[in-house]
Structure 1
Amino acid sequence: MLTATPRAHSAHRTLSASGPSISNPNPFARINHTGAVMQKSFQKFRDPQERERKWFASLLWRSFPEATSEAQLADLVAEALNTAHRPVNPRTVRNWLRSENAPGLHYVVAVLALAGAETVFELFDPEQTA
């Protein structure tokens, strides 16, 4: 018999079926019949900023298809966006690629101009272009 024992004020859930307990740290995930944790698709990007940062990182890769590595892409992007008033360091670009930092709007607009106007529509309907 399979029983679920919820714990009050805890994100962990223990399931027992006369075997080892399976602990699930994500309260929104489900455990399937094989014991694997299944996560709902809406939980993929719980933070809206994370989704936007991932989108911008993919936009950088598409804007510079000749780049074959993260370091090369960082150098190309830094060179393209660098101005006297707003210098861009390759390290900053690597942080954008790893979604560790969010770029300023002026950088987003500049990269959108490099990538092409049609990329703006991905912001409104990301699944349509996937």
Structure 2
Amino acid sequence: MPRAVLDHDAKMNRVIAALWAAFPEATSSHDLAERAAPYFRNRQGQPIDPKTVRLWLSGVSLPRGEHVFVLIGMVGAGFFGLPLQPAARRGAR
């Protein structure tokens, strides 16, 4: 029977890869967390703490659903492991 959902490690690996893809200029996990945190909001609408992103990067916790949606918006289809289609080729026949 095929698995309907990814296991925890697969989800974590996908989130980590997407974060690095969204911020390719980051030079370290600390730098990545500092760059990424302002794009994600807590329930009060404030930017999350970079420590939260570091917890995601270390595999300690997974981001909440709304944070995953933001991340998908940043990296597009690449989040799902699909090749990204260059914008210039979209709709080309």
User: TM-score scaled to structure 1, two decimals?
Assistant: 0.53
Deviation at 1:82, TM superposition (A): 3.6
5+ residue gaps in structure 2?
1-5, 84-93
Which structure: greater helix fraction? Answer: 2
Q: Which has the higher strand share?
A: 1
Are residue 88 (structure 1) and residue 52 (structure 2) matched? no
Deviation at 1:87, TM superposition (A): 3.4
Identity %: 29
Cα deviations by residue, 1:31-74 (Å, 9 ceiling, x for unpaired): xxxxxxxxxxxxxxxx8111101110110000000101111100
Give me the TM-score of the superposition, normalised by structure 2.
Answer: 0.72
Aligned residue in 2 for 1:109:
69
- 8 A Cα contact 2:39 2:47, kept in partner: no
List per-residue Cα deviations over 1:88-127 (Å, max 9, x = no partner). 11100000001110100100010110112x22432xxxxx
Q: How far apart, CA to CA, are the structure 2 residues paired with 1:99 and 1:107?
A: 15
Find the counterpart in structure 1 of residue 38 from structure 2. 79
Give me the whole-angstrom Cα distance separating, in 2, the residues matched to 1:95 and 1:120.
19
Give the residue type in structure 2 aligned to 1:97. Answer: L
**Structure 1 segments of 4 or more deviating over 6 A?**
none
Q: Count matched residues.
A: 77
- Contact 2:56–2:62, Cα closer than 8 Å, also in 1: yes
Equivalent residue for 2:14? Answer: 55
- Conserved 8 A contact 2:19-2:71: yes
Which protein shows a greater Rg?
Answer: 1
CA RMSD of aligned residues (A): 2.1
